[in-house]
């Protein structure tokens, strides 16, 4: 495993949500993608408690709340390509591209095979 449990902790600092609250398949697929991409995945946000989700402006039904989403910090176009390519190769089919990070989730209650950009 490329990741430490700490990397999946809710960033609010006041709750104990972390790796145990993450969906196992998301973590396994993320680890496999990391091995394919061969570049570091800096986890910027993983599971979030409801309080933290509100404070970072997360949507009400955010996949972060159920431990089904991870945001990976990324500002390099080459790393962005490698990360997204690897996420798709391991079977992720919900990816959001933002200025400074890539969102990926496995929320089966939402549409599959979508790639969105910040703002739409
Ligand atoms: Zn929290």
Residues 6 or more apart in contact with residue 92 via CB below 8 angstroms? 29, 33, 104, 105, 106
In DSSP terms, 115 is beta-bridged to 95
Asked if the model's pLDDT at residue 94 lies above 90, the reply is: yes
Between the CA of 99 and the centroid of ligand 1 the distance, in Å, is 24
**pLDDT recorded at residue 120:** 58
Q: Which residue has the tokens 């390099």?
A: 76
Instruction: Tell me the per-residue pLDDT of 65-88, one tens digit each, with 9 for 90 and over.
Output: 999 999 999 999 999 999 999 999
Interval between CA 16 and ligand 1 midpoint (Å):
7
Provide the 10 A C-beta neighbour count for residue 115.
Answer: 12
pTM of the model: 0.95
| Six-digit token string for 91 | 């079977």
63 CA → ligand 1 middle, Å: 14
Q: 23-79: per-residue pLDDT in tens? A: 999 999 999 999 999 999 999 999 999 999 999 999 999 999 999 999 999 999 999
């Amino acid at each position: 495993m490329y990741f430490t449990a700490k990397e999946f902790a809710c960033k609010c600092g006041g709750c104990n949500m972390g790796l145990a609250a993450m969906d196992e398949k998301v973590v396994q697929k993320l680890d496999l993608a990391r091995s394919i991409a061969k570049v570091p995945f800096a986890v910027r946000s993983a599971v979030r408690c409801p309080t933290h989700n509100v404070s970072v402006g997360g949507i009400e039904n955010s996949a972060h709340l159920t431990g089904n989403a991870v945001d990976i910090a990324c500002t390099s176009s080459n790393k962005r390509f490698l990360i997204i390519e690897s996420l798709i190769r391991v079977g992720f089919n919900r990816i959001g591209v933002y200025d400074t990070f890539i969102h990926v989730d496995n929320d089966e209650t939402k549409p599959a095979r979508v790639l969105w950009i910040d703002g739409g």
